[in-house]
Each structure stands twice: as C-alpha cells, then as structure tokens.
C-alpha cells in the first residue's frame, strides 16, 4: 500500500513517514499543496493524509481538485478543530477527519479502516460512448459485442477509463500497468496501445484512445469523432 503524506511541518512529516513506513506502508511526502496535487495526479496512491493549512494551495483546494478527477481516499489530519471545519472537510469528500494533537495508534487504525472500505468503493463498471467495462467479470463490450482482451490490455484500458480525459504519459502508463520505470528506448507502451486500439477502436466510428504528440495518450470522446 502506498500513501502520500501532505504536511508542511517538517518534524510532524518525518514522524508520520517513519511511523507509517515502519507499519508496512510505502510513503511519499509533500510539504505544500502544489506539490501534493501534482504527485496525487501523477502517481497512484492508496490513501492521502492531508493537512489543511499548507503553503501554495490549502488542503481544501487540493481535495476539491482531486474529487473532480479521482476517488483516492483522503484523511484530513489538521489542527483545525472547529465543528464547521470538520463538516466542510467531510462535505468536500474526505473519508475521515482527525484533529491534532493525535494518537498515532488512532491514526493507524483509521487508515486501515479506510483502506478496507476502499476496496468496496472501487468502481466496478465504466461506460464511455458505446464501450462498457465490467471490472468484476473482466468483460469489455462495444455496442454489446464482446471484445476479448489479454490481462495487460485489460489493465491498460482500465487505467484509461479510470483516468478518462487525462493525458497520461508513457512513463505513468508503464509504471501503472507494468510496474516498471519507463525506458525511452523501448516501445512497449506504444505497441500495447496499438494492439488495444486494434481491438476497441478500429472497427467503430467513435475513436476513444488518442495520441498526444510528445507526451502519451488520452482516452476520451471527441465531438469531431461523433457521427
């Protein structure tokens, strides 16, 4: 499990990183809202521990942007202890709200509880134009025609649908689908995307996967492609 700790106080951030690392989690850390948002959008995290009062953009704004793009679990860990702050955090879509000073044991238990819930929250069905993906049954169709995919092709399409409308770099795709660092000398991502396109795009009038020159790919319906 990989966590992102967003905390501008260096000693608290180090304490959290050390404690959660010793508890078995892989931990990344950001000390301001801008870096936190960039890391959250570029990398996959199973949960984010987010402070509210941050340099750059605050935790409220970070969560607002995140909730428009992804459903990563977020736990606010903040000194703001007023009732209206707690309500605001939860209304913005936080999964939990813990006030400083805090017990590390309580924080750890809350993180574990959220992560258990996170499996249930996982989206099981995706729809884009006439394409449908049933994640649990590992079934993909367009216009109700079944499209057999290999495991990697399914994982690649699942990534595109989870991040619909986002431009995904080849490095991010390689990391998420193959769990590897991208080597610019290899074309494994381009070959896999070509094969996926041949199965889900070539025989249908609305193309879903588009090349973004010099960066990677984006999955979306473009108005000009709709007949």
* Angle (CA) 103 106 111, round 5°: 125
Report all structural domains of the chain as residue ranges with CATH numbers, in order of start: 2-119 (3.40.50.2300), 125-219 (1.10.10.10)
Q: Which pLDDT tens digit goes with each residue over 151-206?
A: 899 999 999 999 999 999 998 998 888 877 666 667 889 999 999 999 999 888 89
Q: Are 54 and 33 in contact (CB under 8 A)?
A: yes
pTM of the model: 0.54
Q: What mean pLDDT value characterizes the chain?
A: 89
DSSP states of 4-48: EEE-SSHHHHHHHHHHHHHTT-EEEEESSHHHHHHHHHHS--SEE
- Taking phi over 0 as left and psi of -120 to 50 as alpha, with beta for the rest, 129 belongs to left
Give the per-residue pLDDT at 176: 86
Q: Which pLDDT tens digit goes with each residue over 49-89?
A: 999 999 989 999 999 999 878 889 999 999 999 999 998 88
Written as six digits, the tokens of 221 are: 């319906």
């Amino acid at each position: 499990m990989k966590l992102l700790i967003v905390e501008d106080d260096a000693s608290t951030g180090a304490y959290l990183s050390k404690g959660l690392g010793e508890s078995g989690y892989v931990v990344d850390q950001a000390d301001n809202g801008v870096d936190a948002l960039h890391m959250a959008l570029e990398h996959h995290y199973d949960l984010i521990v987010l402070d509210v009062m941050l340099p750059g953009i605050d935790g409220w704004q970070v969560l607002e942007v995140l909730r428009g793009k992804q459903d990563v679990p977020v736990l606010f860990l903040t000194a703001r202890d007023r009732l209206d702050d707690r309500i605001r955090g939860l209304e913005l879509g936080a999964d939990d709200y813990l006030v400083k000073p805090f017990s590390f044991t309580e924080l750890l238990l809350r993180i574990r509880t959220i992560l258990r819930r996170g499996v249930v929250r996982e989206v099981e069905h995706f729809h884009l134009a006439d394409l449908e993906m049933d994640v649990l049954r590992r079934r993909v169709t367009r216009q109700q025609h079944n499209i057999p995919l290999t495991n990697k092709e399914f994982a690649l399409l699942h990534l595109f649908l989870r991040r619909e409308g986002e431009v995904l770099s080849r490095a991010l795709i390689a990391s998420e689908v193959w769990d590897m660092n991208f080597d610019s000398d290899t074309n494994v991502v381009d070959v896999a995307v070509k094969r996926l396109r041949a199965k889900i795009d070539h025989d249908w009038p609305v193309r879903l996967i588009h090349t973004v020159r010099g960066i990677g790919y984006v999955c979306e319906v473009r108005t000009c492609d709709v007949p």
